[in-house]
Structure 1
């Protein structure tokens, strides 16, 4: 029996996301035998980018049940079933955290449809749910909502079960606690569950042929060695050893990954791997330096002022920019982006006092409402914190500390951090982390 689940969350800091919608379909391998679908009142702020992506607003969840009111039903519908999701580590973690707040230890076998799609449907460029649905002709008329995505995952699971002639998925449902088949580096990855950091895959000559980062190194590395597409098979054939570098902080992992990819140029990484933020903000100015247009679009050859993970985040910053400098969205927005930018403009009523004239500097001052700050994040072990230093509006470096006295003196901090050459892309990574509320603390000075 399988409990196929999808959740939508409020966004925010890692470990503090709250469920705003859940859908569970109890699937016996042939048909759905039970289901539960509900909006959930998170008792927390829903991030604007989540509202834009899902269409779920605070008004919609105001009268919805809170998690403690649906917890018993979730236990019932998932009992004695494998917990199935597309990228299961995320859904399972958030559900476990919700139950943990109630003092209940929620434990289920888990199965990730991404891992088995890579094994059974090789050769695709990507294995996101949307890409798989398009490639396999699976209709999902309600994307980015729990009901639509969970139903699509049920259809995907049914297809995978039909293609799984070795019956590995059924074996998991019957016996195994661990959904990941063995591979050459299984012993190494077994200890990396929920470990955040980087991994370097070396060939027999000691050369780095691939590197990456993840919030869950075990899951990410396993995917490389279970996939059957051409690039994965080449990696599996050449891989001789793996070096792990825990960072604790997802942001530091992304910063180091970007720098290392530029320096090492591993043979099996794609050129685009070092630029995971694919959207950018562009401002066109008139001869008198006034703003003619503001665009948020996919980054190609033209270099943006700032990068984003998605269009909605860029439009929100553009709206804040307009509010700060007395610009009406209707005068500068692209026609197809005007409604979204205007909606964000109406949300951001507070005006920041920014005394710079350059459009580029104005964008960055709008993005970061501080000039000098230490941005505190998770560390690599218990009792340790990581820190990113912003000075004079520029990213200066990162480091770790255990004692408060280590960050009490700015000069001591500067001597202890790993200095990096600031760039608009690295600063954009910091903004992405900051905008999503992932820092534990922001200390200005």
Structure 2
């Protein structure tokens, strides 16, 4: 069994868009290093100044160096029949896999991560970065953040670990251990503790600082998908490197999870959550009655002369909201401004005949009134009852002017309805909760909503 211990330097953190600037490969036969390989590589793209500051490799140094295509055959022979070893292995492996794909080869070698191995051999350390591990094990790093310097330090660390406990190699190479997708600093035992319930989760770095907040119907599955899917590869790689722990709060329902997530992002401002900046609402939903007596709706830009019954950030959002209302209340798409011709019976948004005058205005306008009433409800002070975290409790949320203002989890058996408002805890009013309420209001049963008298 032979191992290829690899370290690369790159132009950035995203394998699909970045390039390799340097590579070092040390071949280990299970007893010692038997050969070495190192080269600078022309990445065929500019090297950012902050990368040069970290590695010392600049555009001038690589301008006459070979491209990856020029060395790929030689590198392929070094890697193809050996076990791929690296510190944070998915980073190096991901870049090389992408590079080989561009020249028509698929890298599919077994891989080992020295971060994961070191967690088993040296449990209880605060950090498993290469620098900290080498410091604790008194392993010199001749050139930090250069490929050969880091590769040699990784090789010494790897050599010590397998001579301490060679069985960790076989254990780590077993297929389907369930650990492959996890961040290297995240223990598999901790992953097993993550609940499969609905709630909000917090990713923590090595100092316990929250770097990402999310919501999920199944927290464990959502956490796994952060690192096993193909979406947002750049963010995935950053999180994979920095996540050390996970905390969570169960919420009982998806709507409550969305509300709580919005509150927590605004409270904590984690660095990997996109800033929730809301532009001015420029589109509105307007209501009027036509000459035949039918209530009509129209999406249009908001002006200072006409006040809409509801406002939106974009025309797409306005139309999506209106379509939900059409389906929920059986309204006519033509009379709502979404169709120019009369409705057909085989369309999912077909009406009861208002556009062809077979349904009378009085009958049709009753449903129009129900839709408008639901919109007005969201603009009043309302109390909504949601599922709790256990069968014995409910979550109560108070909305003022459409925004969440208070909430609490209340024992459903021992608390009377009239005392609930006094038990709710105030929260900062976050505009995002206004849009969440409007999005979910149609899914909430009427008996779960109470319109309150102004306080």
Band of TM-score, shorter chain: 0.3 to 0.5
TM (norm. structure 2) is 0.46
Larger Rg computed on CA atoms: 2
Which structure carries more relative contact order (alpha carbon 8 Å, separation 6+)?
A: 1
TM-score by length of 1: 0.47
